[in-house]
Structure 1
């Protein structure tokens, strides 16, 4: 096991920067998830850690060793790919053992490691099968087993569950979480699915356009997003954003009017913004933080477009002036139907305010 450190890492193709000044410290045994939209640079960052991409600038350190110029095979890492990358002509047992045999590992030790992996992943009954005889979930187990058998210092996962159906993804998330607890090895995991990030990670790294937007524990990012992008990306359903304008600002509070919501006024406990009165801002509130009418700081009436009833929870959707969509989460709410008027309340203590650049006002 080992710590992992990135300091000022840059990846540039010509004049185009894919990764911009990325710095990150990963503790020994920590599970860190890189998350962000497609094209944000998360897979490129993972491949640089693996040594599959050269870095343009900066430093990558695994344990006490700077690995900028170290070959992938010598970095003490093992990588699990999205495509499984199993040898189709080999059995499961042969796939697991192949890497060790190629490095000249003693036969007895190779057999010991392969059997240990088979027990950990509960795939002993699959050992004589070939990949085409396995389900997607079983193939992914074998791909993970091929990484475990190397006994690496760091595991790297590149969107390993994206080829699986929804039920299998949930099952494999549980398996990977259990595996991390059992092995206690440092793991770096890339995904575009923020649900995977929230459920698996000790620490989440949110990327956008090659920049690290925020680093923190899952609930820290959920409760205290640094900016509007992180607030909108972390959480499902996503946070509601409503256009607003500041009408009054003091040293410790700001009063806004919601421009597309009947000019409803809300006062929030935030510091005086730079622009003051007349500044355009955005109010953010999560679907579960709307409360019943009269129980908050401002009431809001919307016309229901769609009501999704999912057992004990319902999601109420409304499209309003200006193209904004409001999503409201309610428990045991089965009475709202399409086109009904619904009045809810905003509680300022659960709301966020963002300036025109997307920075959070605190």
Structure 2
């Protein structure tokens, strides 16, 4: 096993820079997830760690050894891709052992590794089947097994669950989490799905436009985002953003006015925007309470209600036209088209999306 260090890593295609000085220290045995919207650079960053993309600047080290010029096969990594890439004419057992056999690994050791991987992934009874006889989840297990038999120092996953249906995605998330606990190997995982990131990661790296926006534990990013982008990306449903303007700064914090005249006082330790400045108030769906039981009341119009068992989501709009989502226990949802909610906890962002603390 080994840790992974990225020091001011840059990637350019010609004059176009797509990774802008990324730095990250991943501890031995840690599970780190790269998240961000399509095109943010997360897969490119993973491929640079794997050696499948050259780096334009900076340093990548695995296990304390700089690997900038080391071939992918010699980096001690194994990668699981979005596509299963199984050999269709080979059995599961042959798919698992093929790479080792081609490298001249002793038969006894190859058999040991294949048996161990099959037991870990619960595919022992599938060893004689060919890929066409497997479900999507079973194929992905085989693809992961092919990485396990290499006994790498670091596992790299590039959106491995994106081809699976919703139910299988949940099952495979659990399987990958169990795998990490059992092997204790460093894992780096790329996804655009923040639910996968929240459930799998020890730490999450949030990327946007080739920049690292924030690094932290899942619940820390959820409860203490550095900016509006991270606040909106981490969480499902995402944080609500309500337009407001600054009225005044007092001893207890800054007072802002929302649509409909609602006033909210937000504690601040740092400097506040000037009175009249536009700001954004962020509220998680679960932080809307019943009228009169929070920091400020807000009248909204209900557009759609989604009932999800014991929890319901109310899709609503404010007087200024801001769309919001309110989380409620199903038993508390009424048919009233207009309701008043109370803001129990909120975040404040300036007009550039920076968090005001």
C-alpha contact 2:260 2:319 (8 A) present in aligned 1: no
CA shift at 1:322, angstroms? 4.5
Q: Which residue in the other structure is 1:164 paired with?
A: 164
Q: Which residue in the other structure is 1:268 paired with?
A: 266
Distance 1:143 1:311 in 2: 35
Distance 1:320 1:203 in 2: 35
Distance 1:111 1:244 in 2: 65
Q: Which residue in the other structure is 1:7 paired with?
A: 7
Q: Which residue in the other structure is 2:278 paired with?
A: 280
Runs of 4 or more above 6 Å deviation: none
C-alpha contact 2:159 2:191 (8 A) present in aligned 1: yes
Q: Could you say what secondary structure the match of 1:327 adopts?
A: strand
C-alpha contact 1:254 1:269 (8 A) present in aligned 2: yes
Distance 1:136 1:220 in 2: 34
* Cα deviation 1:200-257 (Å, max 9, x = unaligned): 0000000000000000000000010000000000000010000110000136500000
Give matches, 1:60-79, under 5 Å.
Answer: 60-79=60-79
* Cα deviation 1:146-180 (Å, max 9, x = unaligned): 00000000000000000000000000000000000
C-alpha contact 1:304 1:336 (8 A) present in aligned 2: no
Say how many residue pairs are matched: 357
Structure 1 unaligned blocks of 5 or more: none
CA shift at 1:340, angstroms? 1.2
* Cα deviation 1:33-75 (Å, max 9, x = unaligned): 0000000000000000000000000000001210000000000
Distance 1:39 1:272 in 2: 34
Change (3 A) 1:127 1:199: same
Q: Which of 348, 354, 357 lines up with 1:353 in the alignment?
A: 348
C-alpha contact 2:299 2:318 (8 A) present in aligned 1: no
Distance 1:200 1:304 in 2: 34
C-alpha contact 2:240 2:283 (8 A) present in aligned 1: yes
C-alpha contact 2:252 2:265 (8 A) present in aligned 1: no
Distance 2:254 2:332 in 1: 36
Change (3 A) 1:226 1:275: same
Change (3 A) 1:59 1:311: same
User: Please, which moves more after superposition, 290-299 or 49-58?
Assistant: 290-299
C-alpha contact 2:312 2:333 (8 A) present in aligned 1: no
C-alpha contact 1:80 1:157 (8 A) present in aligned 2: yes
C-alpha contact 1:266 1:297 (8 A) present in aligned 2: yes
Q: Could you say what secondary structure the match of 1:304 adopts?
A: strand
Distance 1:47 1:83 in 2: 15
Give matches, 1:10-89, under 5 Å.
Answer: 10-89=10-89
Structure 2 unaligned blocks of 5 or more: none
Distance 1:297 1:94 in 2: 63
Distance 2:131 2:348 in 1: 51
CA shift at 1:137, angstroms? 0.2
Distance 2:337 2:319 in 1: 17
Change (3 A) 1:303 1:5: same
Give matches, 1:236-247, under 5 Å.
Answer: 236-247=236-247
Q: Once superposed, what is the RMSD of the aligned Cα atoms?
A: 1.1
Is 1:341 aligned to residue 352 of structure 2? no
User: Please, which moves more after superposition, 264-273 or 134-143?
Assistant: 264-273
CA shift at 1:333, angstroms? 3.5
Q: Could you say what secondary structure the match of 2:232 adopts?
A: helix
